[in-house]
Structure 1
């Protein structure tokens, strides 16, 4: 009897705990199931309109790149030099004497060909140097524009005339009109410099004095000006 009571006493808490665990787990499972059911469904497929637009954009970019490649130079060739390799490079005489350094290049505007190289001769640190021009065809450029020589000696370079630059022509929209040629550009007349009106007191007019005439019969006649002319005849004596 005691064993039965002890067994029953031990079994009741275990049974109650298992039931409580089942009751607690059930709402959690139901909650999880409800979450899965209420979660919004997303469309995994891409928008066909966006895909078509992306494909068309890539095609346009490829066409533009192909058209541009036909109009531009893509790569520098082995026999081509950069301008900054030339400008600043030293030019030497046939005997190896340094003449000066190239400061500028002259290009033929009609043919686009290189015409001459401007060389700064003499001076100190760029101050007081003289600019002379050597024909481009007279320069010998070797070792990828690292060695430039000329048949001009240093004495000849120092005695050579200085190169004369011209002014750059103004653009068509930057033409400045001559005020003397364009009336619209002429300055307005100064109202203070206008000739003053004539002085009515200085016109030089004279008042007409009455003229007295003596007729043949001895009568005196007095004539007044035209504005209100009166004639007075003196009685005969």
Structure 2
């Protein structure tokens, strides 16, 4: 009996400890679960970036070298800008102001300057006439700040006006006047002239009163003959 009690006394704490340990087991912590990481993507390395920059620099250098052979780099001392010439006054040999240069005529085949267009006369640009002086006859100095001609003021006033030509339109210009080309004329609009409205003329009203026009009253016309004559008695 003592052995049984001793065995029970020893086993009871062990059983209670196991149960207590089972009940107090920590719950699963989601934060402790293993996290799946995305696969690492390949990133540009410093060597690859350096190679790309070297390639871009080589391309830019090649383009710059090629462009330098096709363009003018610097204005020479004997060259003038166009806006230095236009607007400059042309003086006669005696120092009289003939007029100012408004335009230049250039040879399309040789590229040479042919003439300078000068506005002569008028007041504040109104009533001017345009004359052309040969470029070879003009003396230009001091970077086009002074331009002289052998034409006097009286000769400039009496000179004929220069005749300009119209610029040719490019081939296939869609802005040309369609009236000049029948093929470019717009097609007639079929809806421009509206057909006659079939409902414009109202048909006879089927609900019109057929008695609206009364026929001659046969009952109002007295029959011929004397209606008061009594028939002869039968024999």
Name the TM tier (shorter chain): 0.5 to 0.7
1:84 aligns with 2:83: yes
The match for 2:146 is 147
- Kindly report structure 1 stretches of 4+ aligned residues shifted beyond 4 Å: 177-181, 189-192
- Look up the SS of the partner of 2:155 in the other structure: helix
Q: Distance in 1 between matches of 2:126 and 2:181?
A: 42
Q: Distance in 2 between matches of 1:150 and 1:61?
A: 49
Q: Distance in 1 between matches of 2:53 and 2:62?
A: 14
Against the structure 1 CA distance between its residues 116 and 184, is the aligned structure 2 distance closer, same or farther, given a 3 Å change threshold? Answer: closer
Against the structure 1 CA distance between its residues 172 and 145, is the aligned structure 2 distance closer, same or farther, given a 3 Å change threshold? Answer: same
- Asked if the contact 2:102–2:117 (Cα under 8 Å) also holds between the matched residues in 1, the reply is yes
The structure with the largest helix share of the pair is 1
Against the structure 1 CA distance between its residues 63 and 174, is the aligned structure 2 distance closer, same or farther, given a 3 Å change threshold? Answer: same
Q: Distance in 1 between matches of 2:83 and 2:59?
A: 36
The match for 1:100 is 99
- Asked if the contact 2:178–2:184 (Cα under 8 Å) also holds between the matched residues in 1, the reply is no
| Alpha-carbon offset, residue 178 of structure 1 | 5.6
Against the structure 1 CA distance between its residues 145 and 189, is the aligned structure 2 distance closer, same or farther, given a 3 Å change threshold? Answer: closer
Q: What's the Cα RMSD here?
A: 2.3
What is the TM-score of this pair, normalised by structure 1? 0.57
What is the TM-score of this pair, normalised by structure 2? 0.58
The unaligned stretches of length 5 or more in structure 1 are 1-45, 193-237
